[in-house]
Structure 1
Amino acid sequence: MGNVLLEYLELLAASVSSPRLVLLLPAGDGYRDASRLTELGVSVQRFPRLPFPAWEQVTLRRWALRRHPDLLWSPYNTAVLHSPVPQIVTVHDTIYLDGRWNDPETRYKQFGKLYRRCVVPRVAASAAGVITVSEDSSRNIQRRLHVPKAVISVVPPPVKGPELDSYPTGDVPWNSPFVLGVGSLEERKNLARLLAAYKDCVTDCDDFPDLVLYGFREYTGSRAEELITNAGLRDRVHVMGYVDVSTKWRLYGEAEFFCFPSLYEGFGIPAVEAMLVGCPVMTSSAAALAELPDETVARTDPFSVGSMSRVMLQLHRNGEMRAKLSDAARAWVSRHRRPEATLRSLHEALGAALGIPQGVGDAE
């Protein structure tokens, strides 16, 4: 069970007008996470583990036929075909329909993309409601899946972290200051151009900070290691795998600024997380990232190495610029991306799907 879903459910369960929540899980994974919800009154039911399509299309459908809940919510892009009860589905993005991103894929990922291409258009067309995470994703769902705008609710994920005026402190493996980025070989994450821009920065500026990349999966022997080695940056670029929550916030809090020059994002959680603790963000205007106000981030052309290096050098050399971005970002996140705003939007989306916009407190 993913962290975003867990936070959605915690918000709902803790609210005064919470519906009766039943969480359906395959046996095994998610047990510890689910235990956090039982204390809030969520009924957790586990079923034998099956391959995912069978779990979704057989197990969930049978449960809905027996229990007949008021609403069945599928929060991860796919859902039950021919649901016997009203259904709402969360569609985070439509990237699986886009042929621009030709990243190397395992057979599992290839099957997952094919499954989504077959299921999501049919489910979205018949659902009582569709939840998505940004206005850009809403437009793509309307255009690619032919879902009316009136059926779609934009519910940004709750971005929960340290209090806005503080963040966890402590040692990180590298001397501060450092520049932070996301480690990923997905083409849309734009790592090759970021590394090229970083090389230009360290060439032009003797005191430019080291670059720390977190979140890599299987870095050793990867294309990323090859890029870093060939650029002569092994001593300047430090690579981390997946990090725990406290380490992630510490990295955001102690970085001089955060580089996120993505070519496509359905929402862009890393950028908003950095903004939450006042870490200045360099990012693009691609897809949902364009919804971040210009005064809260440093914009760059993600297709131009020169543009990226210029913005990175400007951020490093201009402390006043970093401070202004930090203050503006914190203020915007506190108004627009806090859990309270997410809860209001989520209640409205579920209520609209149920036909009871005044509240969902008596529904299951």
Structure 2
Amino acid sequence: MKGIVLRKNDNQVVVETLPIPQVGDEQVLVKVICTGICGTDIKLLKGQYHLRENIEKVVVGHEFVGMVVELGASVDNIKKGDRITAQPTIRSCGTCQYCHTGQFNLCKDRTRIGFDADGSFAEYIVLHKDQIYHLPDQISDEAAAMIEPLTVAVRAVYKAEIKPTDTVLITGPGTIGLLTLLVAKQHGCRTLVCGTKMDEKKLKIASALGADKVFMNDQWKEEIGAEKISIVFECAGHESAVNMGLELIVPKGQYIQVGTKSSKIEVDFMTVAYKELRITGSIAAIREDWIHAIELMVQCEDKAQLLIDKIYPLDKWETGLESLLNNGGPKILLQP
């Protein structure tokens, strides 16, 4: 089979011919139907992400939909022909306080497809039976490939206590930001989305998704006016967006950090104190987020489809990456 592989020795990403993986007792073999390029995948594909010490190379990718084609001897809750998606987490330690409460996303020893084990940028992928979620027939393959980022948005929004009277600001209209908007709109709140000049296309998608106002972040002083922003979802992971959100939010407001960055950023924490803000982070997703995301995708697929820009064959992954980097997307899909 073909797979897009990140190699440790030269930090290069190449298309390799690989053996079709073999299944263990508690594993299934899945034929990948469609897989999405994530922002983290971009770091991998650009050679900006270093593999763990014991890993020499890995197939990239963790957002996907596929069909089960082979079962391990101990798998009894899945059958051949099932259309599925899967959480990236393969395993966690199972003994820490977070694992005991189902919060495996916080386990320091968790391993993930596309990072610590071969991922979905290939024709086939092996998964543990506990990773898998069955998909309703109503969800198309393209929408199913976006369920993983939707779970991230679901987790972020559920961190806040949103009322219909709230005004919510979302910074960064990438895939996560736009899906966060989609989830937040279910609460009936007023929503604002801001981005950079490079995000003009994505801001138009935000409007189509129901954003009440979109604007460029260098125009926020003119655009915000009398808006009373009570909740901020920071989805860009940039210092300027973080501090803009902290400046704009009203006292006693809720601030949720969703976007990530590999380097440290400077934050005006005195604003946090003086405004008595409630701040939390949100990372990845747990099982309940997956269940809610699948249910939500059934209801909102027509809007989620607006995020898809182009679909490329797997061996055209470089074209897809270039499209994203040149303000394509927010979502580019690959088909093996």
TM-score (norm 2): 0.30
Q: Of the two, which has the highest radius of gyration?
A: 1
Higher helix share: 1
TM-score (norm 1): 0.28
